Amino acid sequence: MDDAALVDRYLEHVRVEKRLAARTVELYSLDLHKLTDNAVAAGVALQQVQNTHIRRWVAQMHGAGRSGRGIALILSGWRGFYVWLGRQGLVDSNPVVDVRAPKAPKPLPKALAVDDSVQLADFSDETGDPWLDARDAAIVELLYGCGLRVGELVGLDVLASTAARGWVDLQAQEAHVLGKGGKRRSVPVGSKAAQALGQWLAVRNQQAKADQPALFIGRNSTRLTAQSIWQRLKRRSLLAGLSTPVHPHMLRHSFASHMLQSSGDLRAVQELLGHANITTTQVYTRLDFQHLAKAYDAAHPRAQRKGK
**Helix, coil or strand: residue 235:** helix
Burial call 182-217: b when 16+ CB within 10 Å, e when fewer: eeeeebebeebbbebbebbbeebeeebeeebbbbbb
Domain that holds residue 14: 3-87
CA separation for the pair 234, 123 (Å, rounded): 13
**61, part of any domain:** yes
Q: Looking at the chain, how many residues does it have? A: 308
CA separation for the pair 58, 66 (Å, rounded): 9
> Among all residues, which ones are annotated catalytic?
149, 180, 249, 252, 275, 284
pLDDT per residue of the chain (308 residues) written in tens, 0 to 9: 789 999 999 999 999 998 888 889 999 999 999 999 999 999 999 999 999 999 999 999 999 989 888 999 999 999 999 999 999 999 999 999 889 988 866 665 688 888 999 999 999 998 899 999 999 999 999 999 888 999 999 999 999 988 889 999 999 999 999 888 888 999 899 999 999 999 999 999 999 999 999 999 999 999 999 999 999 999 999 999 999 899 999 999 888 888 877 777 778 878 888 877 776 676 666 555 454 445 445 544 544 544 44
Number of domains in the chain: 2
Q: pLDDT at position 71, please?
A: 93
Q: Are residues 172 and 78 in the same domain?
A: no
Q: Is 267 exposed, middle or buried (0-12, 13-18, 19+ CB in 10 A)?
A: exposed
DSSP assigned state of 305: P
Q: Are residues 126 and 265 in the same domain?
A: yes
Q: Are residues 48 and 157 in the same domain?
A: no
Q: From the CB of residue 225, how many other CB atoms can be counted at a distance below 10 Å? A: 13
Amino acid at 171: Q
Q: In what order do the strands lie in the sheet with 166-169?
A: 156-157, 166-169, 174-178, 184-188
Query: What's the CATH number where 257 sits?
Result: 1.10.443.10
Residue 146 Cα to chain centre, angstroms:
19
Q: pLDDT at position 298, please?
A: 56
Q: Are residues 210 and 278 in the same domain?
A: yes
**177, part of any domain:** yes
Q: Are residues 182 and 267 in the same domain?
A: yes
Q: Would you say 143 and 252 are in contact if contact means Cβ atoms under 8 Å apart?
A: yes
What DSSP line would sit under 153-170, residue for residue?
HHTEESS--TT-SEEEET
**30, part of any domain:** yes
**227, part of any domain:** yes
Residue 159 Cα to chain centre, angstroms:
32
**95, part of any domain:** no
Q: Would you say 57 and 67 are in contact if contact means Cβ atoms under 8 Å apart?
A: no
Ranges assigned E (strand) in 100-209: 156-157, 166-169, 174-178, 184-188
**105, part of any domain:** no
Q: Are residues 76 and 129 in the same domain?
A: no
Q: pLDDT at position 287, please?
A: 53
**288, part of any domain:** yes
**Helix, coil or strand: residue 217:** strand
CA separation for the pair 203, 129 (Å, rounded): 12
Q: Would you say 256 and 281 are in contact if contact means Cβ atoms under 8 Å apart?
A: yes
Q: Are residues 201 and 291 in the same domain?
A: yes
Q: Are residues 74 and 129 in the same domain?
A: no
* Cα-based distances in Å from 164 to 21, 180, 212: 49, 15, 12
Run of H or E residues at 297 = helix 283-299
Q: Would you say 200 and 129 are in contact if contact means Cβ atoms under 8 Å apart?
A: no
**104, part of any domain:** no
Q: Are residues 54 and 194 in the same domain?
A: no
Amino acid at 213: P
Q: Are residues 118 and 253 in the same domain?
A: yes
Query: What's the CATH number where 82 sits?
Result: 1.10.150
**Helix, coil or strand: residue 175:** strand
Q: Are residues 156 and 265 in the same domain?
A: yes
